[in-house]
């Protein structure tokens, strides 16, 4: 597998640690969605399980472990993820994972677990993982993958060694996307819609999500300006099982926060103008609290709470936000 260029330094460091047999038992891969956490986790799992990886850490592709990995049936590679995107990881599944991690490895090498996304662990599920993170059995490597590590309990974070995944520069990301066959004119837009992660941008470019994400952001803009009914948007978003609107909103808010803190946008594209209005008018604390509420909504939507009410509530307060801001501006100008 050829890694995208921005992942090479991350991989080299991990592989050197692997070669020196100094890998920590628990690793927390953290970084924006679509920066390659899963790719590196799989490559490391393969390097640990293959009978004869080369010095660069590439699995041989010929041994029996490699053929199991290729078929997705290697008994020593355990992958834990929510049953459906956006739902939480169940405590029973964490317990089952911990139980299989204490058993000896089938192939006589490592036992490897990948938990993805780690922020889908609810508090109980996270707690049931603590003992395993603290006292793992020999030759066990647990990788937790998270785009929002701040949402993980501190008790989990402190037991893992963090591996940060950088967001590549805009020009490197666009160059890579173009090399993957994405139209150069579309690359930047997809990158922005996806929140900066090139792999996520590629997925956006290859699906119909580009149109739908752009449409959601236009709706948010109109709700903010008071020209579109938030309840209408809520009922439209209700019908979308992939939660495109909320996911796009989350990226958008995070980008607005970064922009506000850094003083300039991370990605300059024709869509930046839309975001600029938000950056200039909405208070930073409010952006943080809204981003938090959107993240909570994404988590709780999966757990069967009343989706429509949550969406309506969020969109109504977004609409109210613009009003409050214009009142504040009027008050200030007096
Ligand atoms: Zn192999």
Domains 5-164 and 208-333 share a fold: no
Residues of the chain with pLDDT under 70: 270-271, 301-305, 322-334
* CATH code for residues 208-333: 1.20.272
How far, in Å, is the centroid of ligand 1 from the Cα of 62?
5
Q: Which residues, by Cβ under 5 Å, contact ligand 1, an ion?
A: 50, 59-60, 63, 66
CA pair distance 203, 92, nearest whole angstrom: 31
Residues ≥6 apart with Cβ < 8 Å to 47: 15, 18, 53, 57, 58, 59
pLDDT of 281 reads: 84
Other Cβ atoms closer than 10 A to 34? 23
CATH class of 5-164: alpha beta
| Model pLDDT, residue 267 | 74
pLDDT value for 254: 86
For residue 24, report the distance from its CA to the centre of ligand 1, in Å: 22
Measure 44 CA to ligand 1 centroid, in angstroms. 12
pLDDT of residue 208: 77
Q: For the segment 8-42, what is each residue's pLDDT rounded down to a tens digit?
A: 999 999 999 999 999 999 999 999 999 999 999 99
Question: How many whole angstroms from 13 Cα to the centroid of ligand 1?
Answer: 21
Report the pLDDT value the prediction gives residue 41, as an integer from 0 to 100. Answer: 98
pLDDT for res 9: 96
| Model pLDDT, residue 180 | 94
Residue 74 CA to ligand 1 centre (angstroms):
12
Compute, in angstroms, the gap from residue 175 CA to the centroid of ligand 1: 32
- The whole-number pLDDT of residue 76 equals 96
Contact 106, 76 (CB under 8 A): yes
Domain ranges of the chain: 5-164, 170-206, 208-333
Residue among 177, 294, 156, 277 at smallest CA distance from 224:
277
């Amino acid at each position: 597998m050829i890694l995208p260029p921005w992942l090479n330094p991350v991989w080299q460091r991990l592989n050197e640690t692997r070669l020196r047999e100094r890998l920590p038992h628990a690793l927390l891969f953290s970084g924006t969605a679509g920066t390659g956490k899963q790719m590196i986790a799989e490559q490391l799992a393969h390097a640990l399980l293959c009978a004869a990886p080369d010095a660069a850490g590439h699995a041989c592709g010929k041994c029996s472990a490699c053929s199991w990995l290729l078929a997705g049936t290697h008994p020593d590679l355990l992958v834990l993820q929510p049953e459906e995107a956006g739902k939480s990881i169940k405590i029973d599944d964490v317990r089952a994972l911990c139980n299989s991690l204490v058993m000896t490895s089938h192939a006589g090498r490592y036992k490897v677990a990948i938990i993805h996304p780690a922020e889908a662990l609810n508090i109980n599920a996270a707690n049931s993982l603590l003992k395993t993170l603290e006292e793992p059995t020999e030759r066990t490597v647990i990788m937790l993958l998270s785009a929002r590590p701040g949402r993980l309990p501190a008790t989990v974070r402190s037991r893992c060694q963090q591996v940060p995944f950088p967001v590549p520069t805009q020009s490197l990301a666009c160059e890579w996307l173009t090399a993957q066959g994405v139209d150069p004119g579309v690359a930047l837009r997809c990158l922005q819609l996806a929140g900066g992660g090139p792999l996520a941008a590629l997925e956006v470019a290859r699906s119909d999500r580009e149109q739908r994400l752009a449409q959601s952001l236009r709706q948010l803009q109109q709700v903010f300006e008071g020209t579109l009914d938030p309840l209408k948007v809520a009922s439209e978003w209700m019908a979308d099982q992939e939660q495109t609107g909320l996911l796009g909103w989350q990226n958008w808010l995070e980008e607005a926060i970064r922009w506000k803190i850094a003083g300039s946008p991370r990605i300059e594209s024709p869509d930046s103008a839309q975001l600029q209005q938000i950056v200039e008018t909405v208070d930073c604390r409010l952006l943080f609290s809204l981003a938090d509420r959107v993240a909570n909504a994404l988590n709780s939507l999966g757990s069967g709470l009343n989706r429509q009410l949550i969406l309506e509530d969020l969109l109504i307060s977004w609409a109210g936000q613009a009003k409050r801001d214009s009142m504040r501006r009027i008050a200030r100008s007096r």
